[in-house]
Amino acid sequence: MRWLLAGALAVSLVACGESTLGPTSTLDGVWAGTTPGYQLSMTLTQTDTLVTGTALLAGVAGFAEFEVTGTLRSHTVALIAIAPGFEPVKYDGTLSTTEAVINGRLDGSGFNKLQMNLKKR
15-27 per-position pLDDT tens digit: 445 677 888 889 9
Please give the model's pTM, rounded to 2 decimal places. Answer: 0.83
Q: pLDDT grade, residue 12 (50/70/90)?
A: very low
CATH top-level class of 2-120: mainly beta
Break the chain into its structural domains and give their ranges: 2-120
**CA 111, CA 115: separation in Å to the nearest integer?**
10
C-alpha to C-alpha distance for 67 and 91, rounded to whole angstroms:
12
Residue-level pLDDT at 56: 98
